[in-house]
Structure 1
Amino acid sequence: MSLAGATGWVGQPLAAAIEAAEDLELVAAVARRARGERLGGLTICGSVEEALAIPSDVFVDYTSAAAVKEHVLAAVRAGRHVVVGSSGLSDDDFREIDPAARSANVGVLAVGNFAITAALLQRFAVEAARHLSSWEIIDSAYEGKMDAPSGTARELAWRLSEVRAPDVEVPVEKTVGDVAARGAAVNQSRIHSIRLPGYTIGVEVRFGRQHERLTLSYDGGPGATPYVEGTLLAIRKVREFTGVVRGMDRIL
């Protein structure tokens, strides 16, 4: 398989985990700023195009929100199954990627967050939305994260939209003051993004109804281990699918 973003926070331990796995083989690694350097037994490629020229069956992207769509489409066109670890893809992007993947007869797994605990929060939130009709989402991340909302929050909003749209007592457009204070509308959910030092990645969904409330919260720590474990599972599963599959809980 090929790995883009191989020297990054998740990419580096993921590359080591792939090389340590008996059933997986890393044949190409991409890191633009480390081109020509060695990663295990590989020479790091400087571009996705270089990596895709090397035969493989799965392409994994842990690069950036700005580059991920181009990388995914390039991999699909090259006939690779794709595991998307980068955030930043929108619903419109997925609608573009899905037919391309189906035409190429490959699967694209994009889950927003590969941590099993984040997948469990998503599953619990979907169940809660069947019984509680009002909610809002709080998305938290480190101060340098460029995209907002995060992929974790976007995927949660998308999954909740499959259940229903949340009830809102006062229409947002009738807000007195600054409408932006009510957060961004993503798949009909309101998402409030926080970017501060001391955070890594997290999401919270608050449900409310008369006389009671329910809060579900996920917080990722500074280590990459949870994302590595989930990504390895996705790598092993992606060949079973055709087209875009969204949601880590769909492959558990």
Structure 2
Amino acid sequence: MTKKIIIAGPRGKMGAEAVQMVDKEPSYDLIACIDRKNGGKSIKDIQDTNGLPALDVPIFENPETCFQEMDADVFVDLTVPGAGFEHTKLALLYGIRPVVGTSGFSDDQLAALQDLSMTHGTGCIIAPNFAVGAVLMMQFAKTAAKYLPDVEIIEKHHDQKLDAPSGTAVKTAAMMQENRENKQQGHPDEKETLDGARGAETDGIHIHSVRLPGLVAHQEVLFGSPGQGLTIKHDSYNRASFMEGVKLCIRKVEDLDRLVYGLENILD
């Protein structure tokens, strides 16, 4: 059965990759896009943006109008936190199942979306990272934290990313905290001679964010213990690495009646 899909953010690098993926997938039908700059146009009108295919697919500037007029099964959001939150709320209100790759939502925003999803019985998946390898990296780190509690995270992304630390880093730390008690790391008299030198800190886990052109999405989880070290690392070299995860979420979200946060929660 063909799944009718709306994508928000087609001009972005992730959004453009998703448009191409949906166009190539025989069981998917891209019926509309949401973009704040190109309302009233179609994908073929902006096809030069990131190599989009020449599709006669309408673009809506107003997401509510899009959800009212288009009979969609799944909504894929690959925008920014502020817009992504509002888009996801509206999709749930209109009974369209969201698959959200936008990171940077606050705990209050996630709680509000969880309540809305349960109230309407509409499935929703929010994935800080769609790369299956990244999800495995997080799960391995969770296991390792039980035995090696001294740990720091270095996450590296392109210089256009708006949130720091990344949603993947925050999710990794939260998963490790399930197996690790709060532990303050480093020397008790440690002082930063430059503010921020030790990065952000949660439950004693330091998180360091790198933003540079040429990067895509990379993370290292470094564990230390007397006489040994363990590094768990994942690299996404291009955005095609995320598309299998997007397809998995599109397939799984129709079986859900609540919000699921994290790709690891739908892996078989």
Length-normalised TM-score, structure 2: 0.85
2:167 corresponding residue in structure 1: 151
2:261 corresponding residue in structure 1: 246
Q: Is 1:21 the counterpart of 2:25 in the alignment?
A: yes
Alignment partner of 1:42: what SS? coil
Matches within 5 A, 1:34-45: 34-39=38-43, 40-45=55-60
Confirm or deny: 8 A CA contact 2:99 2:253 kept in the other structure: yes
Q: Is 1:85 the counterpart of 2:101 in the alignment?
A: yes
Confirm or deny: 8 A CA contact 2:183 2:204 kept in the other structure: no
1:225 corresponding residue in structure 2: 240
Matches within 5 A, 1:47-86: 47-53=62-68, 54-86=70-102
Cα distance in 2 for partners of 1:156, 1:169 equals 17
Structure 1 residue 166: Cα displacement: 4.7
CA RMSD of superposed structures (Å): 2.0
Length-normalised TM-score, structure 1: 0.90
CA separation of 1:68 and 1:170: change in aligned 2, threshold 3 A: same
1:196 corresponding residue in structure 2: 212
Cα distance in 2 for partners of 1:155, 1:242 equals 22
Matches within 5 A, 1:196-215: 196-215=212-231
Structure 1 residue 170: Cα displacement: 4.9
Query: Please, which of 11, 15, 38 is the counterpart of residue 15 of structure 2?
Result: 11
Cα distance in 2 for partners of 1:188, 1:57 equals 42
CA separation of 1:23 and 1:135: change in aligned 2, threshold 3 A: same
The letter for the 2-side match of 1:13 is E
Structure 1 residue 243: Cα displacement: 2.3
CA separation of 1:68 and 1:219: change in aligned 2, threshold 3 A: same
Cα distance in 1 for partners of 2:216, 2:28 equals 29
Quote the sequence identity (%).
33
Confirm or deny: 8 A CA contact 1:165 1:188 kept in the other structure: no
Of structures 1 and 2, the one with the larger relative CO (CA 8 A, separation 6+) is 1
Cα distance in 1 for partners of 2:35, 2:202 equals 32
Query: Please, which of 122, 137, 161 is the counterpart of residue 153 of structure 2?
Result: 137
How many residue pairs match? The answer is 250
Deviation string 1:6-48 (CA, Å, 9 cap, x unpaired) is 2321212312322332322222211222223222131211122
Consecutive unaligned residues in structure 2, runs of 5 or more: 44-54
Cα distance in 1 for partners of 2:203, 2:7 equals 31
